[in-house]
């Protein structure tokens, strides 16, 4: 799993801002996004419609929310495969609360707290016991979803209060959905946290060299623990949104989301080996994935075929700069 970390190239002098902006990962993503946007608007006459574009955002807002926290976690050199299972467990708990007659604020609180607790559980196992996060979260992924299956079996919870539907189906203004607003707020918060605070610098430091970070006085364990809690928290929030949008809970809810979230993060230019990445990249990657799935959906392409495009996009976008650099290096 942990591939050999290549010696990191640290330049004496930074590239000129303009030059580095043009050749940055984010620039590549913008080009890809614009290209897909243009292709989409030619491919389907229904694409360039405010209501269509608004529907489009639902394809990525929930996963995107988790992707922000996941980006920080992956930058710090850890990973969380249990996010979709946390969604299932939090949704199941909310469903139980509904049967007990809970009102909307209580439901939201339960969803968010269950997410936070699950994240803290992952964080404790990884930081206190020093276990590899990929294995721990494969385990908790089975455990959390397993608990949802034990509680629900082949049943489903329904009967969510009407006011609860706002989170996943409501619009704040015209075609701007509540989910989109939440996504944009989260993007700004996480951008600030990662790129403008000492906490963010510490996350990068841990990802680049945890030992050196430790000796520089960074509390590696505590920061990683906080990141796991954040990822759990965002999964809890996503669970509220998804449950509200679907209006029901099944234990198989959000199956396979974890891989889509990670795809989004990696596509956004976050190094899977840790130590590098940006929130702007993740936002762009979320848009790209939303554009691809929605555009293909308008063309009646089945979901499973869309996943081919997502998979290809992931590999090509990662391989492209490597191939290009190599070609340029040879000539």
Partner 1 sequence: MKAFLKYREIWLATAIIVLIGLISTRFPAFADPGNLRQVFNDTSILMILALGQMVVILTRSIDLSMASNLCFTGMVVAMLNAAHPAIPIPLLIVIALAVGLVLGAINGLLVWRLNIPSIVVTLGTLTIYRGATFVLSGGAWVNADKMSPDFIGFQRAAFLGVPVLSWIAILVIALFFILMTRTALGRSIYAIGVNPTASVYTGIDVGRTKFIVFCISGMIGGLAGYLWISRYVIASVEVANGYELNIIAACVIGGISIAGGIGSVGGAVLGALFLGIISNALPVINISPFWQMAISGSAIILAVVLNARGERQQGRIILRKAEAAT
Identify which of residues 237 and 306 has a Cβ nearer to partner 1 in the complex: 306
Identify which of residues 138 and 175 has a Cβ nearer to partner 1 in the complex: 138
What would you report as the CA-atom Rg of the chain, rounded to the nearest whole angstrom? 20
Identify which of residues 66 and 182 has a Cβ nearer to partner 1 in the complex: 66
Identify which of residues 80 and 179 has a Cβ nearer to partner 1 in the complex: 80
Least spacing, CB of residue 254 vs partner 1, in Å: 13
Least spacing, CB of residue 127 vs partner 1, in Å: 13
Identify which of residues 77 and 168 has a Cβ nearer to partner 1 in the complex: 77
Least spacing, CB of residue 73 vs partner 1, in Å: 14
Least spacing, CB of residue 170 vs partner 1, in Å: 31
| Other beta carbons less than 10 A from residue 117's beta carbon | 17
The footprint of partner 1 (CB under 8 A) covers 1-4, 6, 81, 125, 129-132, 134-136, 138-147, 149-150, 153, 251, 255-256, 259, 262-263, 266, 272-273, 302, 304-308, 310-312, 314-315, 318-319, 322-323
Least spacing, CB of residue 212 vs partner 1, in Å: 18
């Amino acid at each position: 799993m942990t591939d050999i970390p290549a010696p990191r190239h640290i330049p004496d002098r930074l590239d000129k801002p303009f030059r580095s902006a043009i050749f940055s990962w984010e620039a590549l993503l913008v080009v890809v996004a614009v290209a897909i946007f243009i292709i989409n608007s030619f491919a389907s006459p229904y694409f360039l419609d405010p209501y269509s574009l608004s529907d489009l955002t639902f394809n990525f807002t929930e996963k995107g929310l988790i992707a922000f926290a996941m980006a920080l976690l992956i930058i710090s050199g850890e990973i969380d495969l249990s996010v979709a299972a946390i969604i299932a467990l939090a949704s199941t708990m909310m469903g139980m609360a509904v049967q007990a007659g809970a009102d909307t604020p209580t439901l939201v609180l339960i969803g968010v707290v269950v997410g936070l607790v699950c994240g803290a559980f992952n964080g404790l196992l990884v930081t206190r016991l020093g276990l590899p996060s990929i294995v721990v979260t494969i385990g908790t992924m089975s455990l959390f979803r397993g608990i949802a299956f034990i509680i629900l079996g082949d049943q489903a919870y329904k009967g969510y209060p009407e006011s609860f539907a706002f989170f996943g189906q409501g619009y704040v203004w015209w075609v701007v959905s509540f989910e989109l607003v939440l996504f944009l707020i989260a993007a700004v918060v996480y951008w600030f946290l990662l790129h403008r605070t000492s906490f963010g610098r510490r996350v990068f430091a841990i990802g680049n060299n945890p030992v050196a970070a430790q000796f520089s006085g960074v509390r590696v364990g505590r920061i990683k623990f906080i990141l796991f809690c954040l990822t759990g928290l965002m999964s809890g929030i996503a669970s509220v949104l998804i449950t509200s949008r679907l209006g029901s809970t099944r234990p198989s809810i959000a199956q396979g989301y974890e891989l889509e979230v990670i795809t989004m993060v990696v596509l956004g230019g976050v190094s899977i080996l840790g130590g590098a990445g940006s929130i702007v990249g993740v936002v762009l990657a979320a848009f790209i994935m939303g554009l691809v799935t929605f555009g293909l959906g308008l063309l009646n392409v089945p979901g499973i075929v869309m996943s081919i495009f997502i998979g290809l996009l992931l590999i090509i976008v990662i391989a492209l700069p490597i191939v290009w650099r190599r070609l340029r290096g040879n000539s």
